[in-house]
Amino acid sequence: MMRRQASMALLLATRAIYSMQWYVLGPATEAMLSALRASGALSGLLPLSFIAGASATQLLAPPVASRAGARRTYAVGLLLLSVADLLIPFSGSLAEVVVLRSLAGLGAGLFFSPAAYMLLVIGEAGSATSLMSLYEVMFNVGGVLAIAWGLVDGLLGWRYGTALAGLAGLAAALLNMAVIDVESKPPPFTGSLRRGGLRLASVSLAGAGLFGASYLVGALAPYIAERLFGVSPYGAGALTLVYFVGNLVGAAAAYRAGAPSPRKVVLAFLAASASMTFVALPTYAAFLVGEFLNGLATAAAFTIYYSFAVEAFSREHSTSSLALVNFVNMVGSLAIYPVGGYLAYAASRYALAAALAAYSAAFTAALAAARPQTPT
């Protein structure tokens, strides 16, 4: 029992370190672009390249895990993600950073669904909703660590700070292989699951817009705050912790939402889409309050969403269902990154708020009109 609890704690901590790699360049964006003599208008290429890489391996992860085992698959994914981020400080151009972030994304795609499956295996006594809530909470803990990492960047410089984050990921991957002695191979993507997967894919479209808007806000939050309010990138990194604190509260609150359903998914995503307008608020104090509420609504929506995906096909097939959801989200989100990055650079707060809210709501509204049914 104690061994299982220790394995579960390590896996959840690893989820946070994995998440930190998603956002670790956020506080360093302005300093990195300046050092590489790149225009801020290209800042959207950083989240774009990462998500493009992650989408490429989302659907590869389930068959790899069914052959090699879920633990080995997510550990290898974290190794690739961490090595790529460890090499970024040695980059001499933005193009090199973009290539490395694409490789980091490939590793991230191998981590997400196999690690979630292992959490469901290890925490077999817990409900899918409670375990996915924990999984989402730890993702947001990692977001807090990444934004707070701006203080490390401020002390050591962005190159050393990014390298240390990569080393933390390497250590976590190796520790998981050494300590967690449970290995499980999820079942393959069967014909019946493929048929149900088409229905789940339609529900997955609800989150594509919000996925892109929320990752853009999380990844570039310090840069956006600097462009809109003139706050120092490292100071903004500390202050925008409120976004991820909101995420933590929202993920925990979603546990009380009851059994997930398409209707709850749609309502949660519409609420989170509306909260994206906080970017247009005129003062930094109001911006921070809005950022907290947006973080809360976004995390609650995604917790309900991922719980629905797990319940739709049972825990046994959670690797495939979660991979499908994330793949649809990532592919659908790609267009917002270059647009949002440019609008942040141009300090067009109203245009940025409109773009984020409209992009988020468009996918969800289309799904609501289709009146989806729960996959069985």
CATH number at residue 40: 1.20.1250.20
Rounded to an integer, what distance in angstroms lies between the CA atom of residue 69 and that of residue 206?
Answer: 30
Q: What is the CA radius of gyration of the chain?
A: 19
DSSP state of 190: -
Rounded to an integer, what distance in angstroms lies between the CA atom of residue 85 and that of residue 101?
Answer: 7
pLDDT tops 90 at residue 94: yes
Determine which of 9-18, 240-249, 266-275, 310-319 has the lowest per-residue pLDDT on average.
310-319
Question: 73-89 in b/e burial notation, b at 16+ Cβ within 10 A?
Answer: bbbbbbbbbbbbbbbbb
How many other β-carbons are positioned within 10 Å of the β-carbon of residue 184? 16
State the number of CA atoms in the 13 A half-sphere of 170 facing the CB.
12
pLDDT in tens, 291-347: 899 989 998 888 887 777 666 665 566 677 778 888 888 998 999 999 988 888 887
> How many structural domains comprise the chain?
1
374 or 263, higher pLDDT:
263
Assigned domain for 376 exists: no
Assigned domain for 96 exists: yes
Assigned domain for 199 exists: yes
Assigned domain for 102 exists: yes
Domain encompassing residue 349: 2-370
List Cβ<8 Å contacts ≥24 apart for 271-275.
Answer: 271/297, 271/301, 272/210, 272/214, 272/297, 272/298, 272/300, 272/301, 272/360, 273/209, 273/210, 273/213, 273/357, 273/360, 273/361, 273/364, 274/357, 274/361
Assigned domain for 375 exists: no
Instruction: Tell me what pLDDT residue 375 has.
Output: 43
Instruction: Tell me what pLDDT residue 376 has.
Output: 43
pLDDT tops 80 at residue 239: no
Instruction: Tell me what pLDDT residue 168 has.
Output: 94
pLDDT tops 80 at residue 21: yes
Instruction: Tell me what pLDDT residue 277 has.
Output: 92
pLDDT tops 50 at residue 156: yes
pLDDT tops 90 at residue 81: yes
Please give the mean pLDDT across all residues of the chain. Answer: 83
How many other β-carbons are positioned within 10 Å of the β-carbon of residue 285? 10
Inter-CA distances, 318 with 31, 40, 108, 132, Å: 40, 39, 17, 11
User: What pTM was estimated for this model as a whole?
Assistant: 0.81
Q: How confident is the model at residue 49 (pLDDT cuts 50, 70, 90)?
A: very high
pLDDT tops 60 at residue 373: no
44 contacts 216 by C-beta, under 8 angstroms: yes
Assigned domain for 271 exists: yes
pLDDT tops 60 at residue 192: no
For residue 351, give the 3-state DSSP assignment.
Answer: helix
376 or 314, higher pLDDT:
314
Instruction: Tell me what pLDDT residue 243 has.
Output: 79
How many other β-carbons are positioned within 10 Å of the β-carbon of residue 341? 26
